[in-house]
Structure 1
């Protein structure tokens, strides 16, 4: 029987799913929009693991079979490369050509694999209905090949289907999907504790689940899931990776939403330190803008302005529109904060002068600061409310297409 090269291809093309960052924005709940738009040229999509391949190319001599399969492999590689380069239209065209080749060769495993790649591609491009349909097709094919619902390939797709529900704002369905997938993964990890692929999927699902919990305002649970996801991922791959940095940024967001600004800043500073070791990280401008907004929560205007301006420059340099938008949002928050301070001072002065005119004797009594104290008591609550509206409730919005 001819030994196929296709199994080796599947192993070599087994990339990591993207972990993309949450960022501060005007809306916390537009998950689909915000996560989808942040792009990264180095990001890649997770494909199904290798499936044992047998020779089903009957009626041809071994050399002809190998040539046909080599052409198929080359076509799939070209499609995957186009995805990595962000050229989704070309990738889809090439993969459909590869799909036709696989069907003509009656290569069942190749057909299943290409369907899975197309499903991930549709998810990456934001076409969630198409992605869901293709994932259902993949699951049906895997069931037909004898896979059980708790096989790792099925669990990968289950996690992605739950993630699609989140993107599609079907939060209850997403919650059920994640909880079921995580429970099945826990059961398998009890039996196969040393299986890195299971741990990696568990960490990935924890990260996605954490994002869902953020959108349901369950920040404490979200933080716990991000912490566990980060611990798992860094144990497998180390700290100096794009995916690890993205999870750590998500953890910073959760801390901020819990009013743990110090913890959020600590995590985000670590993100920026690790980001120095990751070349061509286009999201770095977003991280600086996030840091600026955290500084603003602490009323550190100079630090906030510096961080946001740097975020804008880096966004422009990296041609990342989301980073520029985020930095502009940060600078706008700073401007509104400064305007609020000026209004506060103006209102305070007016109140102080008004009291001096109406109650000239009060300030000359035993308490010479009576008028100022009264003005502060009456004016500070107003300023405090304005500050909360403009700063504290400036939430992080979820990131860009995450597969």
Structure 2
């Protein structure tokens, strides 16, 4: 059973709405490690609300979640469940772990993080009891992601490192996609903690390692490496580029961010298609990066295209994309059109009950009103 999979894209999009909300925290401790010693303690502080400004730490985090690996095909999941319910004691334990993990994911989607954490602890205890190392690793990874989106960065760091330790201890290589995906999330933690040297080293390691890996894989036949495996490596590179671009943009390096966004967008268009939600978000982000450089005409073209595509596919974050377009229009001094789009974005944000976006759009509208007010 291939237990180790990072959070799927559908779940990750729902997690974006969890990141700024309050929830109850409960203490979490890593259980004894594989050698019998104790893994480092990971006390969880009460969950705190994400900063309204969405600084350079949180935004790359959300980028990493949104790009997370695609869910396995339904038939693969069904086969895993059949294998997990084999009837033997180990199989029964594995089946129970799978059910616990499914319940935990459901709680996360329902914005019940404290309940999800309790269930994950139950899964982890059962995984240790049955000595299922793959289940231990996967559960640690889910716990790390949950701590990550709740802003419990120190605990998430320890959990991600525990996950990586189990994977490397099991013979996984540093260039494996699972290791790279954890590494880029660790880099975002370092960025949020203002440990800039570690953050930059992490981003550069992930991107350079994947680029070299993709270059080596070009000549491999489908018998050696499937098309899907190659595509997943490309998508992981896209996630790393996107995450690094957000870090660069919020570090006031828009020209460097632009180059990262352009590479990520090309990958998304080739693998996911131009109408995929993540591709549309990248197009809008590229527009924002161009706008930050004063290239508002180019920015407007991309932002308008992103908004048009978002309407066509009923994008769940349409109100955010419309707000981005309105901001570009305001910078072009097209105030009437900007206000109209801001008002639509505000209405949609209220329907989504996205209070952070509602507040931000109201602030933008107030700023727009001041700009339009004639000097006395």
TM (norm. structure 2) is: 0.76
In structure 2, relative to structure 1, the CA distance for the partners of 1:33 and 1:210 (3 Å cut) is closer
The alpha carbon displacement at 1:328 in A equals 0.6
What is the DSSP-based 3-state SS (H/G/I as helix, E as strand, rest coil) of the residue aligned with 1:103? helix
In the alignment, which of 172, 194, 199 is matched to residue 169 of structure 1? 194
Q: Does 1:159 align with 2:184?
A: yes
Which has the higher relative contact order, 1 or 2, with Cα contacts under 8 A spaced 6 or more apart?
A: 1
In structure 2, the partner of 1:278 is 313
Q: Does 1:103 align with 2:137?
A: no
TM (norm. structure 1) is: 0.71
Provide structure 2 residue ranges, at least 5 long, that are not aligned to the other structure.
18-50, 219-226
In structure 2, relative to structure 1, the CA distance for the partners of 1:271 and 1:314 (3 Å cut) is same
Contact map agreement 1:29 1:215 (CA 8 A) in 2: no
The alpha carbon displacement at 1:14 in A equals 4.8
The alpha carbon displacement at 1:178 in A equals 0.6
Q: Between Structure 1 and Structure 2, how many residues are aligned?
A: 320
In structure 1, the partner of 2:361 is 327
Contact map agreement 1:285 1:324 (CA 8 A) in 2: no
The alpha carbon displacement at 1:173 in A equals 2.1
Q: Quote the Cα distance in structure 1 between the aligned partners of 2:162 and 2:138.
A: 11
In structure 1, the partner of 2:103 is 78
What is the DSSP-based 3-state SS (H/G/I as helix, E as strand, rest coil) of the residue aligned with 2:370? helix
Deviations 1:14-68 (A, max 9, x none): 54785879xxxx99783346778x99xx969659999xx9xxx9xxx95443322
In structure 1, the partner of 2:164 is 139
Q: Does 1:215 align with 2:239?
A: no
Contact map agreement 1:115 1:138 (CA 8 A) in 2: yes
In structure 2, the partner of 1:313 is 347
What is the DSSP-based 3-state SS (H/G/I as helix, E as strand, rest coil) of the residue aligned with 2:306? helix
Contact map agreement 2:97 2:123 (CA 8 A) in 1: yes
The alpha carbon displacement at 1:215 in A equals 2.1
What is the DSSP-based 3-state SS (H/G/I as helix, E as strand, rest coil) of the residue aligned with 1:31? coil
In structure 2, the partner of 1:362 is none
Q: Quote the Cα distance in structure 2 between the aligned partners of 1:251 and 1:28.
A: 19
The alpha carbon displacement at 1:11 in A equals 6.4
The alpha carbon displacement at 1:309 in A equals 1.2
Contact map agreement 1:175 1:212 (CA 8 A) in 2: no
Provide structure 1 residue ranges, at least 5 long, that are not aligned to the other structure.
1-5, 347-403
Deviations 1:307-340 (A, max 9, x none): 111111111111111221221122111121123x
Q: Quote the Cα distance in structure 2 between the aligned partners of 1:300 and 1:291.
A: 11
Contact map agreement 1:31 1:167 (CA 8 A) in 2: yes
